[in-house]
Amino acid sequence: MVRLIFDEMLKRTATWCRIFGVDSKHVKDMPDSEIIKMAKDKQRILITRDEKLAGICKNHDVEVILLESDDLTQQLNQLKSALGGIFTFPEKTRCPACNGELEIVDKEKVKNKVIDNVYKQNEKFWLCKECKKVYWKGSHWKNITRIFESIK
């Protein structure tokens, strides 16, 4: 399974990779040397827009992908062509907030965790195994599906 680590500038890209099922760590306020160490120790591929950082990685035998574009769809496309079938959405998806694995849970289980309207209007709920956040096919679902289709 591919595991990624994104530099500070790429939070949005990391979040979308999580939604599409990829184990994606995002670092903040971390010096380059530590990011590189973490990538190496945890065997994560480093994703960056920073040519200098990518250069250092190559010198240290750390696997790195230098994203060519600022455009999200193009970035996701580049990751897909570099790494193959990494996106497991919608079968498997991860928590956009914390990168934890999401599991589909019985509706009953979330009864006290979501507002009544959401509970009534939805049949399918996901629970984050790590931060216990509950997800459902809300208003963002269309947008998520549209972006996913654009990288197929």
What is the chain's Cα-based Rg? 17
131 binds Zn ion (CB under 5 A): yes
Residue 67 amino acid letter: L
Task: Give the interface segment with Zn ion, choosing from 22-30, 46-54, 62-70, 132-140 (CB under 5 A).
Answer: 132-140
54 binds Zn ion (CB under 5 A): no
130 binds Zn ion (CB under 5 A): yes
Burial class, 51, CB count within 10 angstroms (exposed 0-12 / middle 13-18 / buried 19+): exposed
Specify the DSSP class assigned to residue 23: E
96 binds Zn ion (CB under 5 A): no
Q: DSSP 3-state assignment of 102? A: strand
Task: Give the interface segment with Zn ion, choosing from 2-10, 26-34, 123-131, 142-150 (CB under 5 A).
Answer: 123-131
Give the binding site for Zn ion (CB under 5 A).
95, 97-98, 100, 128, 130-131, 133
